[in-house]
Amino acid sequence: MSECPILDENGIVYRTCEADGVLRVLASARRREIVSELEASDENWITVDELARAISATGDETDDDGWAGELHHVHLPMLRDIGLVDYDRHGRTVRYYRCDLVSSVLEAVDSEVPSAR
């Protein structure tokens, strides 16, 4: 299997992930939207509430509270499991780690489906 480096904010390899895991997680349009929002941020930390507000502002029918619940129970644990985020459930903060494969997948999907966002 192919492994991809996941980098911290200093560009140091934090850990590696399996390409199959990244592709499996990014198969969901919702998770691609979440990761796109994290990728676009200048910071590597965000609160769950800020992330939910940013995503619900993109025009999806889900409100902030609905997104916060989905983030907490579904999406952030999956992203954590493959190593893209650290998620503090009690502090409700998310730390994002960059991965070139993730960026490439998002770019490829966005170029193929212009209305994806």
Residue 106's nearest CA partner among 88, 84, 86, 87 is: 84
Structural domains for the chain: 3-112 (1.10.10.10)
Per-residue pLDDT at 112 exceeds 80? no
The answer for 92, left when phi > 0, alpha when psi is -120 to 50, beta otherwise, is left
Say if CB 100 and CB 53 are below 8 A apart: no
Average pLDDT of 14-39?
92
Tokens of 6: 């996941």
Residue 63, pLDDT score? 67
Q: Could you report the per-residue pLDDT of 33-91, keeping only the tens digit for each? A: 999 999 998 888 999 999 998 888 866 556 667 788 889 899 999 999 999 999 998 99
The pLDDT confidence band at residue 114, using thresholds 50, 70 and 90, is low
Tokens of 20: 């199959």
Q: Please name the amino acid found at residue 52.
A: A
